[in-house]
A and B are shown apart, each in its own frame.
Chain A
C-alpha cells in the first residue's frame, strides 16, 4: 500500500481527535480538572456521626466546592468519626474557628461537608482540627424524635 500525504494527514487527524477525546474525558467529564490531591492542605474534624459521608465527598464553603474528604476513620477511644479533608491550596483563608456540618444534597442525595467560616483572624493550616462540628442528620432519629415529642405533647 502506498502511503500518500493525504493518508498521513488523515491518520494524524484521527490520532489527534482520539487524544483530544481522552483529554476531554479527563477535563470535562471527570473530576481531574477539579482538585488534585497533591496541591492542598489537610484539616480534620470529629463528628459524633458522619452518616453517609464517603471518601471523595465534597467539602463546600457557602455552596462552593473547596475540597473533598480524603479519609474517614473511627476513633476507638472517643467513639467518634474522624474525617480528614483535603482543601485546595487556593482556599487558604479559612478562619480557625470555622465550623463543619454534614448536609444532604436534596432529600435522597449524597452527603457533603459544609464549612461555615468563623470570625478569627488566624487561618487553618495543614493538620489543624475544626472544633465546632455538627453531625449528619439521621432520618430515623429525626422521625423518632418527632414521634416522641408528639407523644409527649399529648
Chain B
C-alpha cells in the first residue's frame, strides 16, 4: 500500500505475492501485479500458464495458498460469502466460451443479472437490455437462442450481459481466440470503447500479442508461475530481455526452446531401447 501512495497510482486490483498450486503442480509462485483503475491491462503469457486461473482467483472462485488479492481495498479470499457476492456484482467476467445460459434467448440472457439482482419493472428491464445489446451491436439478435449465434456473436452477447449491471471492472478470458479477423476487430474496438465510455477497468488475459498490444495500456507477461516482465506495449517491444523478445515477436526458438526436453538427438537415433 505504501508503494502505491509513493507511485501515486490509482490501483484497483493488487495481487501481492500470490502462490497457487493444483495438486503438486505449481501454477503461481509468488506473483505480484497492480492493475490501475480506468486502464486496460493485459496479462499475457504462453498457453498453460494459468491465466484463466488468475481470473478465477480474482473473482474469488479459487483460494490462494499464499498471498492475497485485494480489489478496491477488500481482500478477496477473506470475504464472507455474502460480501463476496456483493463484490462480484461489481465485476464482470467474460468466459472464453461466453458461458451463455443455453435455455434462454439472447434477450433473457442479458436480462438475467438484472432480473436476479433488481426488482425493476419489465418495461425498464426491456430498455436496459436493448441499450446493452445496442452497445454491442446485437439489438437485432435479441430473439435468437445461444446455439444460433456464431462464436463472436456469443462473446458480444456475453459482453452485453457482463455490462448489464454497470460493473466497475470487466475481465476478459482469451477474448480473441478463434475469431475471424472481422469479429476480432469488432471485439478489440468494443473492449476499448466500453472501457473508456463507461469508465471501466479492464483486464484482458490473452496470448494474442498484436491485438493485446493494440488496446492495452499496460502489459504483464507471465510465464512459469512468475511475472517475467511488465510495462507499456512500447516498453516491452523494445525490451532487452530475450524471452520477452521471443514472446512478443513469436520466434520459434529462443529462451523457450523449440524442442521439448530430450536427450541428444544423434545419441537418441543410434540408441537401442
Tell me if chains A and B make direct contact, with any CB pair below 8 A: yes
Chain B residues with CB below 8 A from A2, complex form: 104-105, 108
Q: Looking at chain B, what size class is its interface with the partner chain?
A: under 10
Chain A residues with CB below 8 A from B103, complex form: 1
Number of chain A residues whose Cβ lies closer than 8 Å to a Cβ of chain B = 2
A1 nearest CB neighbor, chain B only: B103
- From 203 to 224 in chain B, residues with beta carbon under 8 angstroms from any chain A beta carbon are none
Report the minimum CB–CB distance from A2 to chain B (whole Å): 7
- From 61 to 77 in chain A, residues with beta carbon under 8 angstroms from any chain B beta carbon are none
Q: Give the CA-CA distance A1 to B105 in the complex, in Å.
A: 8
Chain A residues with CB below 8 A from B108, complex form: 2
Chain B residues with CB below 8 A from A1, complex form: 103-104
**Total residue contacts A-B, CB cutoff 8 A:** 5
SS of A interface (majority): loop
Q: Give the CA-CA distance A27 to B103 in the complex, in Å.
A: 42
Q: Give the CA-CA distance A2 to B112 in the complex, in Å.
A: 12
Report the minimum CB–CB distance from A136 to chain B (whole Å): 66
A1-13 CB contact bits vs B (8 Å, 1 = yes)? 1100000000000
B104 nearest CB neighbor, chain A only: A1
- From 76 to 117 in chain B, residues with beta carbon under 8 angstroms from any chain A beta carbon are 103-105, 108
Q: Give the CA-CA distance A2 to B105 in the complex, in Å.
A: 9
Chain A residues with CB below 8 A from B105, complex form: 2
Report the minimum CB–CB distance from B106 to chain A (whole Å): 12
Report the minimum CB–CB distance from B270 to chain A (whole Å): 65
Report the minimum CB–CB distance from A1 to chain B (whole Å): 5
Report the minimum CB–CB distance from A50 to chain B (whole Å): 65
Q: Give the CA-CA distance A121 to B108 in the complex, in Å.
A: 79
B108 nearest CB neighbor, chain A only: A2
Report the minimum CB–CB distance from B107 to chain A (whole Å): 10
Q: Give the CA-CA distance A1 to B103 in the complex, in Å.
A: 5
Q: Give the CA-CA distance A2 to B103 in the complex, in Å.
A: 8
Report the minimum CB–CB distance from B269 to chain A (whole Å): 61
Q: Give the CA-CA distance A2 to B102 in the complex, in Å.
A: 12
Chain A residues with CB below 8 A from B104, complex form: 1-2
- From 1 to 42 in chain A, residues with beta carbon under 8 angstroms from any chain B beta carbon are 1-2
Q: Give the CA-CA distance A2 to B109 in the complex, in Å.
A: 11
B105 nearest CB neighbor, chain A only: A2
Q: Give the CA-CA distance A2 to B111 in the complex, in Å.
A: 12
B107-131 CB contact bits vs A (8 Å, 1 = yes)? 0100000000000000000000000
Interface of B with A (CB < 8 Å)?
103-105, 108
Interface of A with B (CB < 8 Å)?
1-2
Can you report 5 residue pairs joining A to B where beta carbons are below 8 Å apart?
Answer: A1-B103, A1-B104, A2-B104, A2-B105, A2-B108
Top 5 A-B residue pairs of the complex, sorted by shortest distance between their CB atoms: A1-B103, A1-B104, A2-B108, A2-B104, A2-B105
